[in-house]
Chain A
Amino acid sequence: MNVLVIGYGNELRGDDAVGRHIADAVSEWGLPGVRCLSARQLLPEFTGIIASAELVIFVDARFSPDGEPVLLEPVELATSVHALGHTGDPASLLSLTQAIHGHHPPAWLISVRAHDAGMGNPLSPKTSMAAEEALARIAGLIGMTRKAGVSGL
């Protein structure tokens, strides 16, 4: 089973880096068939490795005044994408993958509520705790995928 975990954010801006911390942690699990990518931002160049995966999990920080510490949402194809810049969002990237390669894997977005984007700061205590919950969700997704024998679209 081929799973891709992409954590993205600015490693210099406190909680904005939580996606990358989580991707690094998943990488340390050393699970066979699970590839992790820690990136500053989503890039069009990721379409190749996304197309070759059977499941993609995006992990990012979410700056909102309220809401659950961790949200798990399916990523749907974007209804409109204007330009191919050097930044992107999961839906646009998935759409680009579909357009270029003719298929895309099922994809999920795990967003972790962020509280502090201070320059050079470590993860805030609340976001650190939420990161643990996110890791549990990812473990569940990977486990669910294995049990259900989900294959790529």
Chain B
Amino acid sequence: MTQTIVIDPVTRVEGHAKITIHLDDSGQVKDARFHVTEFRGFERFCEGRPLWEMPGLTSRICGICPVSHLLASAKAGDAILAVGIPPAAEKLRRLMNLAQMLQSHALSFFHLSAPDLLLGMESDPAKRNIFALIAAEPELVRSGIRLRQFGQEIIEQLGGKKIHPSWAVPGGVRSALSGAGRDSILARIPEAQATVLHALDRFKRLLSHVKGEAQVFGNFTSLFLGLVGANGNWEHYGGHIRIADGAGNIIADHLDPSQYREFIGEAVEPWSYLKFPYYRPLGYPDGMYRVGPLARLNICTRMGTPLAGSELREFREQGNGAVNSSFYYHYARLIEMLASVEGIERLLDDPDLRSRSESEEEPLLRAHAGINQLSGVGVSEAPRGTLFHEYHVDENGLVKSVNLIIATGQNNLAMNRTIAQIARHYVRSPRITEGMLNRVEAGIRAFDPCLSCSTHAGGMMSLHVILLDSAGRVLDERRRG
């Protein structure tokens, strides 16, 4: 008889979700589904709002990555105004995006995933927590907290506050970085770099112990999608879209992000509020692709910074052409943190961002224009993956329609497949074991999903698992959180 295991809610991720694992008559895993059960409706209630409000409105989709929405929204506004923003404004936006990348990845690695990775997924859940981690690795935790704080303080220096800064606007940004702000950021670069390098070293030392886990941890070939720079460099703000396959072959390149509808379709399923983006030429669901740190490192030609570039070469040894196991999202995230720190330091040396004497003019930060196009698309790389904001407005700049494609949503098919793979390996009976629960959670957590964004919903996530037979009878049920 068939059975279904349901995990609802899932812990230590952002948002609400549950998982159902369906067993066939022989007790083998037939399918697994990641149900996102929250709905907020930003795409609908933003209709009728002025374009100028959109960065502020959409940044409130999320409290973890508001900057990502702020920047993508501002870029959509740039397109509607039909302006090229001043160079200093772009560099400041890039600076904030790197800070966002750093603080979000630090949260994911040090706060959410480190207990699993460093204490072991078989350890007692009651002890697999931050306090056990502090006892085992006190300096790692302390430095990880400071690292996230560093990223947030850069955002605050630029935008006036750490969460939902009202700073990037259509046409540019509102304010520059002060000299004192620049100096305080520069002073902390060495510590930030040392923290990431230590975490990388710590992670690489456990790689040999987790090879077996990594093999069944969302280890399948898929497409990978993201932004790259003009010369194929790792990119987080501009550039073009590149798509590679699971062997590392580039199958599409130099795609205009604003024309995303030509190559990205969105499917819906009745059992989840999270849409299912797919690569159109291959159809649904064969057009599954992944975004985010793993994808960005698989598609880029090089990182563009020395230390991260060296780490990328070592990272690629985990795969053949492409690194496919979702477990290595954690590894990729660490390398992106390093690239972010290097990128921040490089930007602070840029003449457009340096302090100016009283006699020097401040650089232009904003291009001013009215509504010159009735639609615009803004695309940037959020910590979790590529983010698309598309707006259609009337001649007065009032929003008529909105389409958002969120990073986590683009990983939806892959997350479902990851859960199915983990479940197939660990479900052996009609009972839900701690080990299976731990790993299914950890499998989702590898993607660092922000379900607050992707639905575009809010709330803390906890885990509820239900095991059902083919007749729908509950065989076992577990809750966490």
A: residues with CB less than 8 A from B are 40, 44-45, 47-48, 80-87, 95-96, 99-100
- Are B131 and A81 closer than 8 Å at their CB atoms? yes
Q: A40-B163, A45-B152 are in contact. Are A84 and B130 (CB under 8 A)?
A: yes
Query: CA separation between A100 and B141, bound complex, in Å?
Result: 8
- Are B130 and A81 closer than 8 Å at their CB atoms? yes
Interface residues on B, range: 20 to 34
- When the two chains form the complex, which single residue of A40, A48, A96 contacts B130, counting CB atoms closer than 8 Å? A96
- When the two chains form the complex, which single residue of B115, B141, B152 contacts A83, counting CB atoms closer than 8 Å? B115
Q: Could you give, for residues 110-127 of chain B, a 1 whenever the CB lies within 8 Å of some chain A CB and a 0 otherwise?
A: 111001000000000010
- Are B145 and A100 closer than 8 Å at their CB atoms? yes
- Are B112 and A83 closer than 8 Å at their CB atoms? yes
- Are A83 and B64 closer than 8 Å at their CB atoms? no
A–B complex contacts, Cβ < 8 Å, 15 sampled? A47-B145, A48-B145, A80-B126, A81-B130, A81-B131, A83-B12, A83-B130, A84-B111, A84-B112, A84-B129, A84-B130, A85-B460, A95-B131, A99-B130, A100-B145
- Are A86 and B107 closer than 8 Å at their CB atoms? yes
- Are B111 and A82 closer than 8 Å at their CB atoms? no
Closest to B149 in A: A45
Total A-B Cβ pairs within 8 A: 56
Q: Could you give, for residues 141-159 of chain B, a 1 whenever the CB lies within 8 Å of some chain A CB and a 0 otherwise?
A: 1100110110010000000
Does B138 touch A at the CB level, under 8 Å? yes
Closest to A87 in B: B460
Query: CA separation between A99 and B145, bound complex, in Å?
Result: 13
Q: A40-B163, A100-B138 are in contact. Are A85 and B131 (CB under 8 A)?
A: no
- When the two chains form the complex, which single residue of B12, B126, B135 contacts A85, counting CB atoms closer than 8 Å? B12
- Are A82 and B129 closer than 8 Å at their CB atoms? yes
Does B411 touch A at the CB level, under 8 Å? no
- Are B129 and A83 closer than 8 Å at their CB atoms? yes
Query: CA separation between A86 and B135, bound complex, in Å?
Result: 20
Q: Closest Cβ of chain A: how far from B151's Cβ, in Å?
A: 10
**A48: which B residues are within 8 A, CB to CB?**
145-146, 149
Interface centre among B12, B130, B135, B148 (most CB of A within 10 A): B130
Interface centre among A83, A87, A96 (most CB of B within 10 A): A83
Closest to B135 in A: A99
Q: Closest Cβ of chain B: how far from A44's Cβ, in Å?
A: 5
Closest to B107 in A: A86
Query: CA separation between A149 and B64, bound complex, in Å?
Result: 41
**B115: which A residues are within 8 A, CB to CB?**
83
**B141: which A residues are within 8 A, CB to CB?**
100
Q: Closest Cβ of chain B: how far from A93's Cβ, in Å?
A: 11
Q: Closest Cβ of chain B: how far from A28's Cβ, in Å?
A: 19
- When the two chains form the complex, which single residue of B12, B126, B134 contacts A100, counting CB atoms closer than 8 Å? B134
- Are A99 and B163 closer than 8 Å at their CB atoms? no
Q: What 3 A-B pairs are tightest by C-beta distance, nearest first? A: A84-B130, A45-B149, A84-B111
